[in-house]
Amino acid sequence: MPRYFFDTCDGERQVRDEAGIDLTDPQDIGREAAILLQGLGLAEMLKGRSRVFTVRVRREDGTLIYRGTAKLDIE
């Protein structure tokens, strides 16, 4: 089963995923990335901060296969 790693950035801090997750269906990558971005956005929304979040997904060999971005504006 392929393992995928979801690295994140919130505009200030980058976090490299060292554990990864096994996904049987590559179609699940976008769903997992969206769930991760949603969680990051909610945490910052509660703090009242605007941010741009990025998630990059890579295979075990380091190949980048997906990039997603979400923008949170607080006014």
The structure's pTM equals 0.88
The total number of structural domains in the chain stands at 1
Taking only the tens place, the pLDDT of each residue in 27-63 is 899 999 999 999 888 887 777 778 899 999 999 999 9
Average pLDDT in the chain: 91
Which CB contacts under 8 angstroms, 24+ apart, belong to 41-45? 41/70, 41/72, 44/10, 44/72, 45/72, 45/74
Q: What is the mean pLDDT of residues 11-25?
A: 93
Chain-centroid distance, C-alpha 70: 9
Query: Position of tokens 């703090």?
Result: 47
CB-hemisphere CA count at 13 Å for 11? 13
Q: What is the residue range of 27's domain? A: 3-72
Dihedral, CA of residue 35, residue 39, residue 56 and residue 15, to nearest 10? -150
